Amino acid sequence: MTVGIGVHVGEVFCGVVGDARRLEFTVMGDPVNVAARLQEATKEHGIPILASDAIVRAAGEEGLWREVARAPLRGRRGVLGLMVPLAS
């Protein structure tokens, strides 16, 4: 089995939602959706981890990653830089 990891940055809601009959811990928000799309893209690119250019910039790690594609993600407008660590 192959594992794919997608990493993005942004504000999300995380917590317990539901009612007395069923409570569930969840994380919601656009960054969660982008990370999920990046995870899907790991399969297309044959790479175990992809990060958005936004998270690489936010972490100040531009020199440690390289862009493998600039692509639109399913369900989103515009393109996103898909980054892979140089060590991989």
Summarised one tens digit per residue, pLDDT across range 10-32 is 999 999 999 989 999 999 999 99
Closest CA to 68 of 55, 54, 81: 81
Q: Which domain holds residue 42?
A: 5-85
CATH number at residue 10: 3.30.70.1230
Is the Cα dihedral 82, 75, 45, 79 positive or negative?
negative
Residue 70 has pLDDT above 80, yes or no: yes
CA 87/CA 48 separation, integer angstroms: 12
CA 34/CA 41 separation, integer angstroms: 10
Number of domains the chain contains: 1
* Predicted model pTM: 0.85
